[in-house]
Amino acid sequence: MSVQIRAADNADIEKLAELEKRQYNEHAYPAGLFYQALSQWPGYLLLAHAGQRILGYALSSPALEPEQSWLMSLLVCPSARGSGTGKALLQQSMRLQKQYGTEKYWLTVAPDNHAAVTLYQNQGFEVQQLQTDYLGPGQHRYLMCCSIQINPAFQINHRSTT
């Protein structure tokens, strides 16, 4: 069954929160955060699915600065990794950000998360700086940014298939 990307809705959230909990345990975003995100930033929560099975999600948020946004989280369930799902979620979130008028799309990532750093670099994100203790003592993060509007790769397409 092919993987599809679509906007999430409230009916997806308990499963998304379970996926998040399996990855991050006590550091996981709770279901309430996803409900709030859907309410405040409709369209910014994308999920990947194969039929009824949820394979991953991407969550973005507007930044304080105009025409800037954050990729808050990108997660693919372990059994679905390495098959293009993360790339499809990221690319669809970038297309949507382009549609929304975002010029700079930001994210942070652990420097030793080679899979994620490679994925982001291949899609046009560049490391801006290393932010020490960003998520607490010893929790360093690369701050990465992509200039969405000048990246010609992204055409608008509300549904995509890997």
* Residues in contact with ligand COA by the rule CB under 6 A: 23, 74-76, 81-87, 109, 113-116, 118-119, 122
Please tell me whether residue 22 adopts helix, strand or coil conformation: helix
Cβ 30 to ligand COA shortest distance, Å = 17
Kindly list the distances between the CA atom of residue 144 and the CA atoms of 16, 117, 131, in Å, as whole numbers in the listed order: 25, 9, 10
Task: Tell me whether residue 1 or residue 66 sits nearer to ligand COA (CB atom).
Answer: 1
CB of 156 to ligand COA, least distance (A): 21
Name the minimum Å distance from CB 82 to ligand COA: 5
Please tell me the distance from the alpha carbon of residue 74 to that of residue 105, in angstroms, as a whole number: 14
Q: Quote the CA–CA distance of 153 and 38 in Å, as a whole number.
A: 27
CB of 53 to ligand COA, least distance (A): 14
Minimum CB distance to ligand COA smaller for 118 or for 147:
118
Q: How far is the CB of 79 from ligand COA (least distance, A)?
A: 10
Residue 66 or 83: which CB sits closer to ligand COA? 83
Q: Which two tokens stand for residue 141?
A: 């993060």
Residue with smaller CB distance to ligand COA, 82 or 101: 82
Q: Which of 27, 38, 47 is nearest to 136 (CA)?
A: 27
User: Which residues contact residue 146 at a Cβ distance below 8 angstroms, ignoring those fewer than 6 apart?
Assistant: 94, 104, 105, 120, 123, 124, 125, 126
Q: Which is nearer to ligand COA, 5 or 75 (CB)?
A: 75
Cβ atoms of residues 70 and 60 within 8 Å: yes
CA distance 149 to 156: 12
Whose CB is nearest to ligand COA?
A: 86
